[in-house]
Each structure stands twice: as structure tokens, then as C-alpha cells.
């Protein structure tokens, strides 16, 4: 399996990372060498193996349904690049 | 006792307790060292005023019953620290000041220590040489032009250069153990779930684990005791009683069975690594340990598996860095989507972007089964390898790394050769096991090399004990000339 | 009331080349009733100031981790049990990855391959009989925040109060065939969840929304057509309008030999049409994978059994019981079990009065009044006890139906009990035959001419005499008795 430039551009789009043409070339080279390495896994027959979902052999721990958070708007907005003191503000979303 | 800072943490604690030195003087000594070591570029942020203030508070009202009484500590800049900038080595968090403290650092402070500064690291802990940091590469005190390992490279460098008495790092694929090995120090990656991940900038959630980096095993036990513990805020935290690792440290390891896995003798491995391994085996044998040849047949598939699992999780974990709620936002772009794309393109460095793209790809429609699911299955096989052998042995001994510290820039153009650095450390992350890297010798050029002890889940005490006995009989001395000051 | 069992299903769209059937499946998003969010301790209450109900977890700060709310898990199980569904003792939380301004993590924690609830079913009462709708699954997931586009011409404002609130996504099988069935299905789901106390079903506040999958096919075809998904419709009326529009659009396309693109569409409530959502073009690749911050959820069978034991009587069961125990017809029973509070009110009234009369009066005058005043049964100005007293007064013959209406009006205004009103206003029915006979004799003697006309065959005049009796009794004369006595005296 080899990754072509178009595929890489598509993946970059999914990941919301802009890549310029010059970068695409070096990325194609790097990613192909990495995937060549990764594809060693194809040597293994794993048909009968259960995928490992979690390394910990325990069930999900839950918490009580209590309100003990929120009401910290100042903290929530403090680090934002742009806000209105009430809302986060982002460039227009075109639907 | 001319210089307090070249002593181990446990020696320093003794001197604090006997009032031979005050916390303030100790802190001042480290500040002096740090100011003279700018060349190493180990720190992203220093918090001297805060540290001196806390030291003064300690001296005014000392509590010597604590594990870390009046001890200044610098920590990897991946731990969120309340009111102190936390960057994860990235431009995208360049101006991020958390309003919260990570559980692990809070545990350290609750035991009497305080923050001295934030240590440089590979961007989002993605790297094996500390060359991917937005804040520049870190230099290994063992030799100019050498990398300190990664991703906890600022931590290993600062520790080896006496800029902090002990430190903590995070280890996703070797990021504590490999830099420890490269600097002649001790590094422990605990069992997955022993230390809380809450408040640590996430790289790969199923692999990340914080751990101590110290000058010796005793320090390691003290630090682990202080930082570990159940945290109800982390769903993957293990609920168990706290252990007194330092008090229970024992050097009698007679009768233990230690496995020697044949798969860790890889092609093109320098002869010196093999010799070091032999030396380690001999020391343990002399201590009455039974060495058993074992096989971990899926070892060679650990690294390819890791390079699917870790980037996949990272691609999702790093989606939150979008310029909306914190961190860097690009001013370029006409709408929301362009803002995202430019922010993430300018905010992340090349290695991080590369891994996000790998991760996005292996999870994307049509490729999930071939890559991600396959990797989850192989991960099961790797875990099974360990499970099978741990019915026969108490611990496993391997080299920590396939080489000693390499030159800055040597591997930056070849990602796969860089990744191969983690070949011995990655399997334990995939299996969630504790693993300790301890300094064991020097190579021909006089550069430190480490051996790795892998334990059963939650068997930290046992590998610390083996390490403790080993340390006493190894005659390793880390002679670092302070060429940078 | 008439039960329209005989009516036949007839929702088809006629094209030039034949009749089309509409196939509909719904993905209902129901907000779980809980105090705090699915993975954080922030409040879920509606109507807070922007970003006030937001924690650092809901806003996805670095290093923040989710811990699941046990009540949300229980609510999902209760709902699953209420839908006669299989409860999965092993389920997994996955991340659904996509970028959007109101999705702080860059992924939504949801359940993909292993949902907490599997297949179930819901019964609908349609005029043409009972209809079973299959439930495909129910899973737990996080809600997103809210993007506000109209506060500023250049910027979008983001409020994360909803971010992280627990939702149950209930996915139906493509079993629905008309807007009416969709209406009945949503209402039934809503009723069940309100009975269970797992969702308040408040559509205005967004507690219940749906994505609607619509396709069409020729009547008789076995294969389904290509479907379109209409996203996030928040009222039953809009769902029905969207389906009607979308089904016709698809028929027109097919009739002109075109193909239907499988796509996500938006219902524009102003223009009453659906249109393609371009922003969702690449959103189909959600890159689901198990959330490594969470472990698989393993449910103890005992917990499931205990929850099952503690479930309230659900509408279908209650309806059966109402028919059997109270002698109601299916229609009456249906209406009276539609809300738990209504059924409780009815049972209280019925116990103290007459089953059948209570049903008639509740569904008539009481509901009309509540509807008029914009009230519901829980804040009715008339208590069940007072209402039962009124029904009992009618039943015993103490007052007539006509007087009862008067008493009812006074009850609403004054809040007094019917007994008190009847007494103080002297509204009690005249049911003493002797008294009545005396009064009627007087009326007949005053109207000799009319009596003669009646006797000579003008029987229509009977009504005139009744009217006179009512007039002179102030409406209180017992109508049945009046008739009897009049007939007797006029014969003589």
C-alpha cells in the first residue's frame, strides 16, 4: 500500500491541517517509509485474535450524579484567544 | 560537602532534616546552577521567585515528616501547573496558563516539595531526542552536541546536570527510560494506572504514564511513593492501597527468577550493548538470582504496533488544539475551517503533524481494519507474550536502548531510524507493565548505557529491589564534567 | 368516541409511473434526565447564562479526563427496558471524531459498535390498528455546545452549556411509513420516557430532537431506495413537513429518471424545504475508535434486574388494565394513559366516582378547559377529589349535566368544592315526583290551548312543555322524571 499525494491531502483535510505543495512531497516520502515499516504487521495472522480494547482488566468506574463543577466562566474563558466575556468567539461558520 | 546539588535526593533530604541546610539555601544552590546552565536549554520556564517564597515558608515552619521536605523540583512541561505556563513543548500552547494542577504534581507538592521550573521536552512528548520542541533542542550534559534522549530530555538533562534533585517525566514509548539511559540516571515507567493522568497533556491515553527520574534507586522509590496513588478523576487509575516503596526497599534478591528474552538481541546491535547485558546478568547471578532464557516472540512487532496505536490516539487527543478556547490562533483564513487549518499548521511542528496524519489515516474509513484493528490484535499478542512468561519469572532483564546518546541532528531526517530508538522500551507500554532503566556502564566513548528491568503489573517494589541490589554491586559512577558553566 | 379500526393505511405518493411508499427511520436524541453531565459534574439545567454550566472537562482543557455518571447509565438501562429491548452487559464508549466550533474535544464520546441497549420494539395505536416499530439500538453519547450565528455579522459565538450533557440516541428500524406514524412514534417514545422519568421530552428546550432518514420506493418493491438524512429536526410538525417535502422531492427525481444522492440535508423551517448540507461533506469519516480514557462498561446483571423490578407500570400495560378494570374503550384508555399524570388523575377520580362518566368528563370539559388556559393536568385548578365529587353528583342525579357545566365553571373561578357550590347556589336537581307533578299540573292548566293542540296530534309541543318546566324550575328539574310525568299527565 503506498500513500499518494492526493491521499495525504485528503487526510490533512480530515485532520484540519493545511499543507502546502512543497510539504506534501517530503510528507509523502516520510509517511511511505513509516508505513513500509508498519506493514511488517501483515506477516502475522491475527484472524483468531481478540483486539485489545483496554490494558486494564477492570470495569468502568462511575461517579455519583452530583453537581460539583461549572460556574467558572472566568476560568473557562481566561485562556481564549477571542471571547466576549460570555461566549467564545470564532470566525463565521458557513452552514 | 562542597556542593549539595551533586548529591542524591535522599542525601539532601537527610541534610534538610538534620538542618545542615535550609530549604532556602538548597533552592538558591539550584537556582545558581540553572542560571549557569542556559546552554543546556533544559528549562522552558523557571519559577525562582515562587520557589524561594515556598522555601522560606518551609524554613519558617518546617515539617520534616513529609516525604519531600522543602525540596525544590523542576518537572517536565507536560504536567499542568496552576498559574504557571504549560507548553508541552509546543507553539500551540505557548501562552497557555492552566488554572489547575495535575494530580501527580499536586501529590509531589502535598509531600512538601515545590516547583522550581518547567522542563523542556519533545513537542507533545513526541520524539526520542528532544529535537522536536518548539523551544529548541536540549543538550545532554554528558557531552556537547549529544541529545539527552526524549521526550523527557529536559528532565534527564536537568537531573544529570544537577539542576534539580530529582524530576518526573512521562513515558508513552520510552520517554522516561531512554533519556535516563542516555544520561546515566534512573528512570521508572510505572504500571499503567498507578499514577494519575489527570492534568497531564495527553499524547496517547492508553500508553501514557508519568514516572520518576532520579539519581539512584532510593530516590526513585521516594519519588514514586510521593507521586503515585489512586485518583477518582482518572477512569483508568487503579484503586489500590498506597505502598511505602522507600521503606520497603530491600537488597536481598536471592532466589528470584529473572527472564532473559532472546528477541532483545537485535540485528546490528552494537557489541557494547550485548556486553553490558552480559555484565548485568553476571551481577544478578552473583546476587543469587536464577537467570532463565525466555521468548517474547512478538517483540519485533511492538514498534510497528506502537506507530499505529500511539498516532491514532494522538490524532484524536490533539484535535482539541483548534485555536478556540486556549493557546495559539492563526489570524489567517476567512472562515472557521481555514482558521482551524492555519492554526494547526502553524501551531504544530513537523513531527507532531506527521503523527497526526498517520493517526488520522489509520483510523479513516477503509483503513481502520487493516491498521488500527490489526494493531489492537497484535497488542493483545504482545501482552500475552508477557503474561505467559510471568508465570515463570519474577522480572525480565533487557538493555534499555540499542545505542548510547547520539549526535544532535543525526537522525532528524530519517523518522524510522529515530523511532527504532524505542525498540526495547515500547513493548512494556503496550502491555502496561512497569519498567525501570538503571545506569549500568559506559560505552567506548565513555557514554552511559542502561539496562531495563520489566516487572509484573503493580510489581514496582520488586523491580526497585532488584535495581537496588544491582546498583550496590554495579560500580557505575556518572562522572559529568560541568563543561557548560 | 369512534374507534377508527376500519380505516385503512393510505399514505402514498402518486407519481405518473405509479404509487410510491415512503420509508422512514428515526434517530431520536433524547436528553437524559440527570443532575450533572455524562462525564463531568457540571449542571444540566436549562436556561443558564452562557458558559456558566461549563467545567474544564466540558471545554476540553489539556489533561482533562472523563468519569461517567452512574445515573446516566441507569437511565439508559431503564429506557432500554421500557422499550422491551435487550440490555447489553458489555458496552464500549468510542470517540466520534470531527471538527466543529461547538465540539471542544474535537470528538464526541459516543457508542458505536457496542451500544448499551440492543434491539427492542414500540407499539403504536394507529386508526388502522396496532403497529409495531422496531428499535435497532440505544446508546449513550455527549451533546455538543451551541453555535450562535446571528449575534455578529463576522463571528460565530459559542456557548458550551449543553456540551457534555448526556443524550440517548434511540435508533428505529426503517419501519415507519407516514408522517402520522412518525407523530405517533415520537409521542409514544416521549410518553414511555416520561413514565420512566428518563427524559422530560421537552421539545422546545431541545430535550428531544431527531434525525430523520427518508427514502421512497414503488409500492411492492422489496429493496429500499437511497435515503437522505435530515439533521436535527426539533418538532414533530417540522418532522412531518420535512418528510412530506423530502418524499415528494425524491419521487420527482425518480420520476424524471434521476438518481438520489445519499446525503445529509437540513430542513429550512422558513422556506419549508430541505437542502443539502455542504459543510457535512467530509463528515462521514468519523474515525470511530474506543475511547482510551474510558474502560469498557460492564453491567452487573443484578443491577439490570433491580432496575427492571423498580420500573413503573408503562402505558401499554396501563392501557390494558384501564380497559379491563374500568371498562373503558381503547380510545379512551389511550388518551388517559398518554401522560402518567393524566392517568394518575383519572384513577383518583374513577375511584371516588364513576369510571365511565369520569373518563367522558375528563376528556371533554376538563381537557378543553386546560387546553384553553394553556395548563396541564399537574397544575389543573380543579383537584382530582373535587372533580370526582362533581362526577359523582351527576351520577347520583343530584345535578343534571347542564347544571354540572355551570358548577364546573364556578369551580374554576372560585376554587370551591362542587358540594358547596350546589348548596349555596341552590342548584340541586328537583327529583321529588310529587313536587314536580304539582309544578307540571300548574303549567298544564296555564296552557290549556296547547294541551288541546297536543292531544289533537301536534306532538311536537312536548318540547314546549319540557321547556316551560325547566324555565319555572330554574333548570333544576330532573329531566328524566319531567319527561315521565309530562307523558303521564298529557295522556290523562
Mean pLDDT lowest for which of B395-399, C72-76, C348-352, C436-440?
C436-440
Q: How confident is the model at residue C269 (pLDDT cuts 50, 70, 90)?
A: confident
Q: By the 8 A CB rule, do C122 and C185 touch?
A: yes
| CA angle C101–C104–C106, rounded 5-degree value | 90
Q: What is the pLDDT of residue C3?
A: 40
CA-based nearest residue to B124, from B71, B173, B159, B57: B173
> What would the mean pLDDT of B428-444 be, rounded to a whole number?
97
Asked if residue C165 has pLDDT above 90, the reply is: yes
Percent of chain C's residues with pLDDT above 70: 97
Are C148 and C88 in a shared domain?
A: yes
Q: How many secondary structure helices (H) and strands (E) does chain A include?
A: 3, 2
* Secondary structure class of C92 (helix, strand, coil): coil
B379 vs A12, A52, A72: nearest CB: A52
Query: pLDDT-based confidence at C282, cuts 50/70/90?
Result: low
**Interchain pair B364, C287: CB under 8 A:** yes
pLDDT score, position C4: 44
Domain presence at residue C3: no
Mean pLDDT of C150-158: 93
> Region B396-409: what's the mean pLDDT?
96
Contacts of C284 (CB under 8 A, 6+ apart): B365
> CA–CA separation, C228 vs A50, rounded Å?
35
Residue C169 confidence (pLDDT) above 50: yes
**For helices B9-17 and B217-227, angle between their N-to-C axes, nearest 10 degrees:** 70
Are C62 and B364 in contact (CB < 8 Å)? no
- From the candidates A67, A79, A81, A94, which should be mutated to test the interface with C, based on the most C CB atoms within 10 A? A67
State residue A53's pLDDT score: 85
Where does the pLDDT of residue C164 fall: very low under 50, low under 70, confident under 90, or very high at 90 and above? very high
Q: Which residue has the cell 531495563?
A: B452
Contact call for residues A44 and B381 (beta carbons, < 8 A): yes
Give how far the C-alpha of residue C62 lies from the chain's centroid of Cα atoms, to the nearest Å. 43
In this structure, the answer to whether residues C168 and C217 fall within a common structural domain is: yes
pLDDT tens digit sequence for B131-153: 999 999 999 999 989 999 999 99
d(CA B176, CA B168): 8
Please check whether residues C126 and C148 belong to one and the same domain: yes
Regarding whether C401 and C440 lie in a shared domain, the answer is no
pLDDT of B37 over the 80 cut = yes
Q: List the alpha helices (DSSP H) in C398-478.
A: 401-414, 418-425, 433-446, 448-455, 462-473
Residues C240 and C364 in one domain: no
Q: Judging by beta carbons within 10 Å of its beta carbon (0-12, 13-18, 19+), is residue A71 exposed, middle or buried?
A: middle
pLDDT at residue C280 in the model:
54
Do residue A66 and residue C54 have CB atoms under 8 angstroms apart? no
Both C203 and C107 in one domain: the answer is: yes
Q: Which of C405, C424, C443 is the last residue of a domain?
A: C424
End-to-end CA distance of chain B: 20
Please check the confidence at residue B271 and state whether its pLDDT lies above 70. Answer: yes
Q: Using CA atoms, how far apart are residues B99 and B92, in angstroms rounded to an integer? A: 17
Query: Has residue C4 been placed in a domain?
Result: no
Same domain, C271 and C409: no
Contact C73, C116 (CB under 8 A): yes
Can you tell me the mean pLDDT for C243-270? Answer: 93
Specify whether the CB–CB gap between C217 and C21 falls below 8 A. Answer: yes
Residues spanned by the domain of C411: 313-424
Of B232, B315, B339, the CB nearest to A90: B339
pLDDT in tens, B363-391: 999 999 999 999 999 999 999 999 999 99
**Cβ(C177)–Cβ(C9) under 8 Å?**
yes
**Can you say whether residue C232 is alpha, beta or left, with left for phi > 0 and alpha for psi between -120 and 50 degrees?**
left
Is B404 an active-site residue? no
Distance CA B142, CA B449 (A): 12
Mean pLDDT for A46-71 is 94
Query: Which residues between 29 and 68 in chain A have a beta carbon less than 8 angstroms from any beta carbon of chain B?
Result: 30-31, 33-35, 37-44, 46, 49-56, 58, 60-61, 63
Select, from the ranges A86-95, C146-155, C294-303, the one with the highest average predicted confidence (pLDDT): C294-303
Q: What is the dihedral of CA B114, B117, B118, B119, to 10 degrees?
A: -110
CA distance B212 to B209: 10
pLDDT band, very low/low/confident/very high, at C396 (cuts 50, 70, 90): confident
Taking the Cβ of residue A73 and every Cβ of chain B, the question of whether any pair is shorter than 8 Å is answered with no
Residue C371 lies in a domain: yes
Q: Name the minimum distance, in Å, from the CA of C295 to any CA of chain A.
A: 5
Residue C441 lies in a domain: yes
CATH of residue C481's domain is 1.10.10.410
Query: Among B34-48, C158-172, C387-401, C465-479, which stretch is predicted with the lowest mean pLDDT?
Result: C465-479
User: What confidence score (pLDDT) does residue C477 get?
Assistant: 86
Q: Which domain-ending residue is among C259, C277, C308?
A: C308
Q: Are strands B257-261 and B395-399 parallel, antiparallel or unpaired?
A: parallel
Helix ranges restricted to H, B91-195: 103-110, 153-160, 177-183
In a domain, C405, yes or no: yes
Among C109, C141, C302, which residue's Cα sits nearest to residue B319?
C109
Question: What average pLDDT score do residues C342-349 get?
Answer: 96
Look at residue C278 in the predicted model and tell me its pLDDT. Answer: 63
The pTM for the full model equals 0.92
Q: What is the pLDDT of residue B181?
A: 98
Q: Show the CA angle centred on residue C94, arms to residues A53 and B374, nearest 5°.
A: 45
How confident is residue C1, by pLDDT bands cut at 50, 70 and 90? very low
Cell of B458: 503493580
**Do C352 and C389 share a domain, yes or no?**
yes
Q: Is the same domain home to C289 and C303?
A: yes
Number of structural domains (chain C) is: 3
Domain over B4-257+467-474 is classified CATH 2.60.40.1150: no
Instruction: List B residues 72-111 in contact with C (Cβ-Cβ < 8 A).
Output: 80, 86, 88, 93, 96, 98-100, 102
pLDDT confidence tier of residue C398, bands split at 50, 70 and 90:
confident
Q: Which of A59-63, B266-270, C105-109, C158-162 has the lowest mean pLDDT?
A: B266-270
- What residues are paired with C477 via a beta bridge? C430
Nearest to A55 among B308, B339, B431 (CB): B431
- pLDDT tens track for B283-308: 999 999 999 999 999 999 999 999 99
Beta pairing class for C129-142 and C166-172: antiparallel
Q: How far apart are CA C399 and CA C407, in angstroms?
A: 9
Mean pLDDT of chain C: 93
* One domain for residues C379 and C444: no
Residue C26: its H or E element: strand C18-31
In whole angstroms, what is the distance from residue C192 CA to residue C79 CA? 8
Give the pLDDT of residue C283. 56
Q: Are B134 and B51 in contact (CB under 8 A)?
A: no
Residue C2 in this model has a pLDDT that exceeds 80: no
- Residues with Cβ within 8 Å of residue B70, at least 6 apart in sequence: B16, B22, B23, B26, B55, B58, B59, B62, B112, B113
CA distance B360 to B315: 6
Segment B68-116, tens digit of pLDDT? 999 999 999 999 999 999 999 999 999 999 999 999 999 999 999 999 9
Question: What would the grid cell of residue C128 be?
Answer: 388502522
Task: Say if residue C127 is in the same domain as residue C270.
Answer: yes
3-state secondary structure (DSSP) of residue B6: helix
Q: Would you put residue C180 in left (φ > 0), alpha (ψ -120 to 50) or beta?
A: alpha
User: ipTM more than 0.90?
Assistant: yes
CB neighbour burial string for C387-415, b if at least 16 within 10 angstroms, e if fewer: bbbbbbbbeeebbbeebbebbbebbbeee
Run of H or E residues at B304: helix B302-317
Take residue A43 and report the three cell numbers written for it: 506477516
Length of chain B as a residue count? 485
Contacts of A16 in chain C (CB under 8 A): 99
Residue B333: per-residue pLDDT: 86
- The pLDDT tens digits for C188-219 are 999 999 999 999 999 999 999 999 999 999 99
Please report the domains of chain A, with CATH numbers, ordered by start residue. 5-43 (1.10.20)
Same structural domain, C104 and C186: yes
The domain locations on chain B are 4-257+467-474
Amino acid at each position: 500500500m503506498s500513500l499518494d499525494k492526493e491521499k495525504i491531502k485528503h487526510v490533512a483535510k480530515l485532520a484540519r491541517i493545511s499543507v502546502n505543495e512543497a510539504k506534501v512531497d517530503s510528507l509523502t516520502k516520510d509517511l511511505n517509509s513509516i508505513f513500509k515499516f508498519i506493514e511488517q504487521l501483515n506477516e502475522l495472522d491475527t484472524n483468531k485474535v481478540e483486539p485489545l480494547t483496554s490494558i486494564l482488566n477492570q470495569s468502568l468506574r462511575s461517579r455519583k450524579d452530583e453537581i460539583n463543577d461549572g460556574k467558572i466562566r472566568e476560568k473557562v474563558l481566561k485562556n481564549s484567544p477571542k471571547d466576549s466575556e460570555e461566549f467564545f468567539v470564532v470566525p463565521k461558520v458557513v452552514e | 560537602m562542597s556542593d549539595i546539588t551533586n548529591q542524591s535526593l535522599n542525601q539532601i533530604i537527610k541534610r534538610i532534616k538534620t538542618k545542615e541546610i535550609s530549604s532556602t539555601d538548597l533552592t538558591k544552590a539550584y537556582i545558581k546552577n540553572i542560571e549557569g546552565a542556559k546552554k543546556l536549554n533544559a528549562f522552558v520556564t523557571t519559577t525562582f521567585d515562587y520557589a524561594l517564597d515556598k522555601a522560606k515558608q518551609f524554613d519558617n515552619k518546617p515539617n520534616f515528616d513529609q516525604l519531600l521536605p522543602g525540596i525544590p523540583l523542576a518537572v517536565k512541561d507536560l504536567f499542568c501547573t496552576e498559574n504557571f505556563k504549560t507548553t508541552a513543548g509546543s507553539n500551540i500552547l505557548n501562552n497557555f496558563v492552566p488554572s489547575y494542577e495535575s494530580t501527580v504534581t499536586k501529590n509531589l507538592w502535598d509531600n512538601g516539595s515545590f516547583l522550581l521550573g518547567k522542563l523542556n521536552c519533545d513537542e507533545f512528548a513526541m520524539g526520542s531526542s528532544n529535537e522536536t520542541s518548539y523551544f529548541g533542542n536540549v543538550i545532554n550534559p554528558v557531552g556537547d552536541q549529544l541529545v539527552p534522549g526524549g521526550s523527557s530530555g529536559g528532565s534527564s538533562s536537568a537531573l544529570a546536570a544537577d539542576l534539580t534533585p530529582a524530576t518526573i517525566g512521562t513515558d508513552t514509548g520510552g520517554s522516561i527510560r531512554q533519556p535516563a539511559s542516555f544520561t546515566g540516571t534512573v528512570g521508572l515507567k510505572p504500571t499503567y494506572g498507578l499514577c494519575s493522568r489527570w492534568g497531564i497533556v495527553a499524547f496517547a491515553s492508553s500508553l501514557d504514564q508519568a514516572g520518576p527520574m532520579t539519581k539512584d534507586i532510593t530516590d526513585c522509590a521516594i519519588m514514586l511513593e510521593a507521586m503515585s496513588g489512586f485518583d477518582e478523576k482518572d477512569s483508568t487509575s487503579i484503586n489500590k492501597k498506597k505502598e511505602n516503596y522507600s521503606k520497603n526497599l530491600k537488597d536481598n534478591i536471592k532466589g528470584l527468577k529473572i527472564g532473559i528474552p532472546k528477541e532483545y538481541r537485535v540485528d546490528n546491535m552494537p557489541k557494547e550493548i550485548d556486553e553490558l547485558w552480559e555484565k548485568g546478568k553476571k551481577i544478578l547471578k552473583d546476587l543469587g538470582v536464577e537467570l532463565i532464557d525466555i521468548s517474547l516472540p512478538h517483540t519485533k512487532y511492538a514498534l510497528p504496533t506502537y506507530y499505529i496505536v500511539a498516532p491514532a490516539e494522538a490524532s484524536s487527543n490533539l484535535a482539541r488544539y483548534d485555536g478556540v478556547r486556549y493557546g495559539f490562533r492563526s489570524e489567517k483564513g476567512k472562515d472557521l475551517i481555514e482558521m482551524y487549518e492555519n492554526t494547526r499548521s502553524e501551531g504544530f511542528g513537523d513531527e507532531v503533524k506527521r503523527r497526526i496524519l498517520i493517526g488520522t489515516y489509520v483510523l479513516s474509513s477503509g483503513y481502520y481494519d487493516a491498521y488500527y484493528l490489526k494493531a489492537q490484535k497484535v497488542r493483545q499478542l504482545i501482552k500475552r507474550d508477557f503474561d505467559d512468561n510471568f508465570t515463570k519469572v519474577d522480572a525480565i532483564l533487557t538493555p534499555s536502548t540499542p545505542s548510547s546518546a547520539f549526535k544532535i541532528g543525526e537522525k532528524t531526517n530519517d523518522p524510522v531510524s529515530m523511532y527504532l530508538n524505542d525498540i526495547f522500551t515500547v513493548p512494556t507500554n503496550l502491555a502496561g507493565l512497569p519498567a525501570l532503566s538503571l545506569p549500568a556502564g559506559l560505552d567506548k566513548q565513555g557514554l552511559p548505557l542502561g539496562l531495563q528491568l520489566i516487572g509484573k503489573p503493580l510489581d514496582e517494589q520488586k523491580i526497585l529491589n532488584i535495581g537496588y541490589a544491582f546498583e550496590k554491586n554495579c560500580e557505575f559512577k556518572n562522572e559529568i564534567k560541568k563543561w557548560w558553566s | 368516541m369512534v374507534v377508527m379500526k376500519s380505516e385503512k393505511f393510505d399514505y402514498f405518493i402518486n407519481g405518473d409511473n405509479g404509487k410510491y411508499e415512503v420509508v422512514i427511520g428515526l434517530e431520536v436524541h433524547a436528553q437524559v434526565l440527570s443532575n450533572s453531565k455524562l462525564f463531568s459534574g457540571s449542571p444540566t439545567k436549562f436556561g443558564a447564562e452562557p458558559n456558566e454550566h461549563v467545567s474544564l472537562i466540558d471545554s476540553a482543557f489539556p489533561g482533562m479526563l472523563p468519569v461517567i455518571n452512574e445515573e446516566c447509565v441507569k437511565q439508559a438501562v431503564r429506557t432500554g427496558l421500557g422499550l422491551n429491548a435487550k440490555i447489553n452487559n458489555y458496552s464500549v464508549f468510542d470517540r466520534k471524531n470531527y471538527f466543529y466550533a461547538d465540539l471542544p474535544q474535537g470528538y464526541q464520546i459516543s457508542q458505536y459498535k457496542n451500544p448499551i441497549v440492543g434491539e427492542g420494539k414500540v407499539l403504536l395505536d394507529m386508526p388502522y390498528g396496532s403497529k409495531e416499530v422496531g428499535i435497532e439500538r440505544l446508546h449513550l453519547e455527549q451533546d455538543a455546545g451551541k453555535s450562535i450565528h446571528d449575534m455578529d455579522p463576522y463571528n460565530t459565538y459559542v456557548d458550551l452549556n449543553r456540551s457534555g450533557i448526556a443524550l440517548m440516541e434511540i435508533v428505529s428500524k426503517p419501519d415507519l411509513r407516514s408522517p402520522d406514524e412518525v407523530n405517533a412514534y415520537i409521542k409514544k417514545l416521549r410518553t414511555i420516557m416520561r413514565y420512566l422519568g428518563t427524559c422530560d421530552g421537552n421539545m422546545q428546550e431541545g430535550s428531544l430532537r431527531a434525525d430523520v432518514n427518508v427514502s421512497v420506493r414503488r409500492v411492492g418493491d422489496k429493496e429500499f431506495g437511497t435515503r437522505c438524512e435530515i439533521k436535527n429536526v426539533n418538532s414533530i410538525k417540522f418532522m412531518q413537513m420535512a418528510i412530506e417535502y423530502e418524499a415528494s422531492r425524491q419521487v420527482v427525481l425518480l420520476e424524471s429518471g434521476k438518481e438520489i444522492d445519499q446525503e445529509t440535508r437540513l430542513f429550512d423551517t422558513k422556506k419549508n424545504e430541505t437542502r443539502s448540507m455542504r459543510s457535512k461533506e467530509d463528515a462521514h469519516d468519523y474515525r470511530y475508535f474506543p475511547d482510551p480514557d474510558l474502560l469498557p462498561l460492564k453491567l452487573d446483571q443484578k443491577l439490570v434486574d433491580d432496575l427492571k423490578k423498580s420500573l413503573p407500570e408503562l402505558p401499554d400495560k396501563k392501557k390494558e388494565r384501564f380497559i379491563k378494570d374500568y371498562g373503558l374503550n381503547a380510545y379512551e384508555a389511550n388518551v388517559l394513559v398518554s401522560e402518567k399524570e393524566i392517568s394518575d388523575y383519572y384513577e383518583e377520580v374513577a375511584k371516588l366516582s364513576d369510571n365511565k362518566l369520569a373518563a367522558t368528563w375528563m376528556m371533554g370539559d376538563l381537557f378543553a378547559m386546560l387546553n384553553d388556559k394553556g395548563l396541564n393536568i399537574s397544575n389543573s385548578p380543579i383537584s382530582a377529589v373535587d372533580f370526582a365529587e362533581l362526577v359523582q353528583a351527576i351520577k347520583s342525579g343530584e345535578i343534571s349535566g347542564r347544571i354540572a357545566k355551570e358548577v364546573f365553571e364556578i369551580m374554576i373561578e372560585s376554587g370551591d368544592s362542587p358540594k358547596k357550590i350546589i348548596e349555596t347556589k341552590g342548584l340541586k336537581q328537583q327529583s321529588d315526583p310529587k313536587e314536580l307533578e304539582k309544578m307540571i299540573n300548574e303549567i298544564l292548566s296555564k296552557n290549556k290551548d296547547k294541551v288541546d293542540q297536543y292531544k289533537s296530534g301536534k306532538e311536537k309541543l312536548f318540547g314546549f312543555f319540557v321547556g316551560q318546566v325547566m324555565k319555572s324550575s330554574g333548570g333544576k328539574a330532573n329531566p328524566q322524571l319531567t319527561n315521565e310525568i309530562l307523558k303521564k299527565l298529557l295522556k290523562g
